[in-house]
Structure 1
Amino acid sequence: MDNVLNTAGDWAINVLFALAIFFIGRQVAKLIIKVCRRVLSRSRMDEMLVNFVLSILSGVLLLIVIVAALDRLGVDTTSLVALIGAAGLAIGLSLQDSLKNFAAGVMLIVFRPFKAGDFVEAAGTSGVVETISIFSSTFRTPDNRSIIIPNGAIYSDVITNYSARDTRRIDLVIGISYDDDIRKAKEVAEAVIKGDERVLEDPAPFIGVADLGASSVDLHIRPWVKSSDYFATMCDLKEKIKVAYDDNGISIPYPQTDLHVHQVSDKTGDAKPFVVARKAEDREEGGDD
């Protein structure tokens, strides 16, 4: 009887100690989480990443507290730890792609190659970034489609952020005829650019001869605009320059094909038409037959 009472007493003491370890350990874990949250918030880390990291840390701390309480009760925790490790390994192997996306999501949030609202080209998709989560990101395309892309595909590819800078350069290549006055063409293009208030004065626009092509003199017209005005300004400048060139008698060459019909006699003496097709640029260089 005394042995039973002693055993029950020891068991009761162990249970009390295990409960104390559990409750005190849980409070200590909450205190650690609170301190870590304060430190991470001061480091200006993304709130979503902070919550995710702290949730993982909270789970790990709670698991340690539970293992310590079970060990006080006399439970063999060695096998339990080995079982948890094996389960973690199995889960990790089965979720390789998800872990890859998770790691990429953490990198995107930490290093911030782009943020929500930026116009980005990544993983073969262009669009405005709407959300960046741990496993995937959502893009809104110019035609208003939502595309969800795994973060692993984004981070392993080239990322082009068109919104990273306040200003962008518009690169226009306009070809004029060899018969046109280059200086006049540059003056007309310069007047069009100066007439658009969206074009920035600094950096100054550039207009120059880029290439002497087979059938045209190619001008590079490169004004600078705000990134938000890029697409609309580019389209407007193309239209205005075309209209201004038409008004000033400056032509923009386009590919042409000339058909030359020759009469060729066969063995019977009958004349049959023989058609030779030549490109316009070839005719301009070699002369007409």
Structure 2
Amino acid sequence: MEFTPIEDLKTEVENMASAFFKSLPNLTIALVILIVTLIAGRIIRAIVSTAMHRARVRDALVTLAQNLISIAAWIVGVAIAMTVIFPSVSPSDIIAGLGLTSVAIGFAFKDVFENFLAGVIILGREKLRIGDVIECEEVYGRVESILIRETHVRETDGELVIVPNSYLFKNPVNIETDRTLKRQELVVGVDYDTDMRKAKSVLQEALASCESVEQSETMDVQCVSFGGSSIDFKLLWWSGSRPADQRATYDEVAFAVKDALDDAGITIPFPQSTLSFRKEAVPIPLQARMVKDREEVGENS
């Protein structure tokens, strides 16, 4: 058998050209399908985006919906184009391949998908908005952005914490700024010699004089306990829920209470220790020593 590489190469090229021209109609149809997929995906994205914006859905969730629509449209379009170009490939084969691929990807990127799904759920909630001050386990600060896989929280010292969404989904989240107002409290002790009714009246007037205290909400002063060295009153009031407002109102109320009590001559006591020399209060070893000392003094006299 004669070896003719040039002739063999020429034959292969002719066969490939013939196969290409035979499949050209299918390639044209597949190209049309991809173009239609592109146009249809954009139309559907525009319709869905408009509807979600009218429903005041968060921007991150709108972006997610747009991306999912594009991915789904291209998967369907490419699958149809492949069945046109390669008639031997059936839709069931493509579905089976996608299923095995998705399972493998799911195991490889388990944490990524966990954060992704948690982000979708968080974005779908009405609570937890941009600008809210939250506390979740060891994370405390203001929410700057909520993304699909993570949430950015700016702590009170200025540091930025990137929190995985699954962390916020699994743990309890305390949203301090869910309302514009938050109740504050301060415990103040007065001396036992103080007239309790007078002390309560003075504390109420001090609380009402503070500008940071919300006057339209309930203010209350309650006697809560008889402590070891004082009668304790708890002051309850409402003020702004932002951390800066909370610090400012606590500071103002504390100063007002101290000034009011000083003006009324009411003492804020501090812990005191009482020394007792009664017989039963003296420890046994010390008591025995004192008896011995007395006996020695008697003998010497």
TM-score range, shorter chain: 0.7 to 0.9
Secondary structure, in 3 states, of the residue corresponding to 1:71? helix
Structure 1 contact 123–154 (Cα < 8 Å) conserved: no
Tell me the CA shift for residue 6 of structure 1. 9.3
Q: CA 1:252/1:165 → structure 2, altered by over 3 Å: closer, same or farther?
A: same
Matched residue, 1:269: 292
Matched residue, 1:81: 95
Matched residue, 1:11: 23
Tell me the CA shift for residue 7 of structure 1. 6.7
Q: CA 1:119/1:9 → structure 2, altered by over 3 Å: closer, same or farther?
A: closer
Tell me the CA shift for residue 259 of structure 1. 4.4
TM normalised by structure 1 equals 0.83
Secondary structure, in 3 states, of the residue corresponding to 2:151? strand
TM normalised by structure 2 equals 0.80
Which structure 2 residues correspond to residues 45-56 of structure 1 after superposition, within 5 A?
45-56=57-68
Matched residue, 2:47: 35
Structure 2 contact 230–269 (Cα < 8 Å) conserved: yes
Which structure 2 residues correspond to residues 230-241 of structure 1 after superposition, within 5 A?
230-241=246-257
Secondary structure, in 3 states, of the residue corresponding to 1:107? helix
Distance in 1 (CA, whole Å) between partners of 2:211 and 2:289 is 67
Structure 2 contact 181–240 (Cα < 8 Å) conserved: yes
Tell me the CA shift for residue 183 of structure 1. 1.9
Tell me the CA shift for residue 70 of structure 1. 1.1
Structure 1 position 107 matched with structure 2 position 121:
yes
Tell me the CA shift for residue 267 of structure 1. 9.9
Secondary structure, in 3 states, of the residue corresponding to 1:85? helix
Matched residue, 2:141: 127
Structure 1 position 95 matched with structure 2 position 78:
no
Structure 1 contact 114–161 (Cα < 8 Å) conserved: yes
Distance in 2 (CA, whole Å) between partners of 1:188 and 1:126 is 36
Tell me the CA shift for residue 45 of structure 1. 1.0
The CA RMSD measured in Å over matched residues stands at 2.5
Tell me the CA shift for residue 69 of structure 1. 0.8
Larger radius of gyration between Structure 1 and Structure 2:
2
Distance in 2 (CA, whole Å) between partners of 1:226 and 1:128 is 15
The alignment-based identity, stated in percent, is 26
Structure 1 contact 25–65 (Cα < 8 Å) conserved: yes
Distance in 2 (CA, whole Å) between partners of 1:124 and 1:6 is 69
Secondary structure, in 3 states, of the residue corresponding to 1:61? helix
Give the gaps of 5 or more residues in structure 1.
272-289
Aligned residue pair count: 268
Q: Which has the higher helix share?
A: 2
Tell me the CA shift for residue 251 of structure 1. 2.2
Tell me the CA shift for residue 8 of structure 1. 6.4
Structure 1 contact 123–153 (Cα < 8 Å) conserved: no
Tell me the CA shift for residue 154 of structure 1. 1.0
Equivalent residue letter for 2:23: W
Tell me the CA shift for residue 190 of structure 1. 2.1
Matched residue, 1:222: 236
Q: CA 1:267/1:31 → structure 2, altered by over 3 Å: closer, same or farther?
A: closer
Distance in 2 (CA, whole Å) between partners of 1:95 and 1:9 is 43
Q: Which has the higher strand share?
A: 1
Equivalent residue letter for 1:187: S
Matched residue, 2:154: 140
Structure 1 contact 177–217 (Cα < 8 Å) conserved: yes
Equivalent residue letter for 2:181: T
